[in-house]
Amino acid sequence: MLSNLQTRDVETLLHPYTNLATFRDTGPLILERGEGVFVYDTDGKPYLEGMSGLWCTSLGFNNRELVEAAAEQMGKLPFSHLFGGKSHDPAIELAEKLKELAPGMAKAFFCSSGSEANDTQIKMIWYMNNALGQPQKKKIISRQKAYHGVTVASASLTGLPANHLDFDLPLPGILHTSCPHHYRFAREHESEEEFATRLAEELDALIQAEGPDTVAAFIAEPVMGAGGVIVPPATYFARIQEVLERYDVRLIADEVICGFGRLGTWFGSEMLGMRPHSISVAKALSSAYLPIGAVLVDDAMDDALTEQSRKLGTFGHGTTYSGHPVTAAVALKTLEIYQRDGILEKVRAIIPTFQKRLRALSEHPLVGEARGMGLVGAVELVADKASKRSFDPKRMTAAKAVSFAQEQGLIVRAVANDTVTICPPLIISDEELEMLFDRLEKALDRTAALRD
């Protein structure tokens, strides 16, 4: 029996990533407040937020400094924009800080989400190559199982079937190469290094087949998030970048999940040996307290954008909320807290505990692979561990595990291939981390019992 509030929700809201038909019967979990790593529903029940919302609320759910930063800026300048040469202190200071944290980046362009950031990446690449007299060099290569957003262009970059089916995507000119998931896609007896080399060779063959003069960029998450927390082999990006450099193809790092401490470094690129020409950020940039994203570009792109706007009379791109002063002020305070409170150092200190508990789940009878890096992880559930045989998708095994976890007071998320993902706030304590995994183990045990 749905409550009045649940019924009102069902009758008025379209929910993202939800079965809109069955949802009418189940209704929503309605949350009304948060404290630390916990959120509370309308009955006062606490849930350990094991997904940081959507991979984003890194400083937890009641950081007063962020609330006060928003309130202060609201009282000073609640809105302004960056169109036509206007500016304001929060946007300038935030851009300066991002340049400081991301060596090699020349300018920051602000937007409101990771999807917008990756959409902007495509437009800037096209604009840049027109400026350079390379109008045919426009194709963008992404990867199968990648996640780069849901707007028309960024959803085309995303390599997940659910984001394409019946949306008439991907757009022409967006290509997908192999996913670097050794557990699922390596050949028999193929080592991780051999697998990485083969994937680089496949990328090389794709670029050759398309024509090197038509391929502009390759976009990649350091660790693939919504595709199932896929950590590439150690030599993967070194091999991939050899190919990209051979054909003058730019590397775009999608740091929307991995950026700002998730892997124990400012950017995931540092951990994975990536040397990006441009970077997309969002989510933890403001600890998700307000929506903000950014594209960071190098000197080569900045120069090309500048010269082309000189020729055309303007750089014809931007949104109303690009560099919104309140969101910029909150993001600036977020970065200040990361540095002042040593958040990255705390993350590095707790990573061994997180990874030890995560890897231990590989012994569970339901788990085919437990994988992750830093403070992000996943367990892929299988019907048979020896053969890696997956469950029938209609059984929705991972979704059942997530439901049992919610009953235990833990929020985690089910993604494709019956994978349960874990991404706690960066401020989680050792005790809370143990609680998270204890509750997840109980949920997996209940899920396994359904088979017996």
The string of pLDDT tens digits covering residues 1-57 is 888 999 999 999 999 888 888 888 888 999 999 999 999 999 999 999 999 999 999
- pLDDT at 204 exceeding the cut of 60: yes
Mean pLDDT of the chain: 97
Among 10, 41, 48, 5, which Cα is nearest to 438's?
48
Mean local confidence (pLDDT), 322-327: 97
Tens of pLDDT, residue by residue over 103-161, are: 899 999 999 999 999 999 999 999 999 999 999 999 999 999 999 999 999 999 999 99
Give the integer Cα–Cα distance in Å for 291 and 282.
8
**Residues 379, 229: Cα–Cα separation, whole Å:** 9
- Using DSSP's 3-state secondary structure scheme, residue 218 falls into strand
8 A C-beta contact, residue 379 and residue 420: yes
- Collapsed DSSP state (helix, strand, coil) of residue 22: coil
∠ CA 176-182-188, nearest 5°, is: 110
Strand order in the sheet with 419-422: 367-373, 376-381, 419-422, 413-415
Strand-pair partners of 220: 253
Query: Tokens representing 76?
Result: 């000073």
Q: Give Cα 29 to chain centroid, integer Å.
A: 23
Of 267, 249, 320, residue with least CA distance to 291: 320
What percent of the chain lies above the pLDDT cut of 70? 100
Q: What is the structure's pLDDT at 22?
A: 87
Rounded to whole angstroms, the Cα distance separating 48 from 32 reads 14
- For residues 183, 146, 302, 284, the Cα torsion angle rounded to the nearest 10 degrees is -90
CB within 8 A of 205, min separation 6: which ones? none
Residue 451 has pLDDT above 80, yes or no: no
Q: What DSSP line would sit under 376-439, residue for residue?
A: EEEEEE-SBTTTTBPPPGGG-HHHHHHHHHHHTTEE-EEETTTEEEE---TT--HHHHHHHHHH
Domains, the chain: 4-62+342-449 (3.90.1150.10), 66-340 (3.40.640.10)
* C-alpha R_g of the chain: 22
Question: Measured between alpha carbons, how far is 289 from 66 in angstroms, rounded to an integer?
Answer: 7
Question: What are the strands of the beta sheet with 174-177, ordered from one edge?
Answer: 107-111, 293-297, 278-281, 250-254, 215-220, 139-143, 174-177
Give me the helices (H) in 268-410, please. 268-272, 299-312, 325-340, 343-360, 397-407
As a whole number of angstroms, the distance between CA 81 and CA 74 comes to 14
Q: What is the pTM of this model?
A: 0.96
Give the three-state DSSP class for 224.
Answer: strand
**Six-digit token string for 359:** 């890897």
Rounded Cα distance, 354 and 440, in Å: 13
Name the band, by pLDDT with cuts 50, 70 and 90, for residue 452. low
Average of per-residue pLDDT across 324-337: 98
Q: Which pLDDT score, from 0 to 100, does residue 59 have?
A: 98
Q: Scanning the structure block, which residue is given the tokens 């991979």?
A: 55
**Is pLDDT of 412 > 80?**
yes
- Segment 231-254 shows an average pLDDT of 98
* Strands 413-415 and 419-422, sheet pairing: antiparallel
Task: Spell out the residues 6+ positions from residue 82 whose beta carbon is closer than 8 angstroms to its own.
Answer: 91, 110, 318, 322, 323
**Strand bridging mode 367-373 / 376-381:** antiparallel
What's the whole-number mean pLDDT along residues 265-278? 98
Question: Please, are residues 124 and 206 in contact by the beta-carbon 8 Å criterion?
Answer: no
Write out the two tokens for 298: 């190098």
| Token output for 189 | 């007896």
The per-residue pLDDT for 47 is 98
pLDDT of res. 25: 86
Dist. CA 431–CA 438, nearest whole Å: 11
- Asked if the model's pLDDT at residue 86 lies above 70, the reply is yes
Instruction: Please give the average per-residue pLDDT across 259-267, as a whole number.
Output: 98
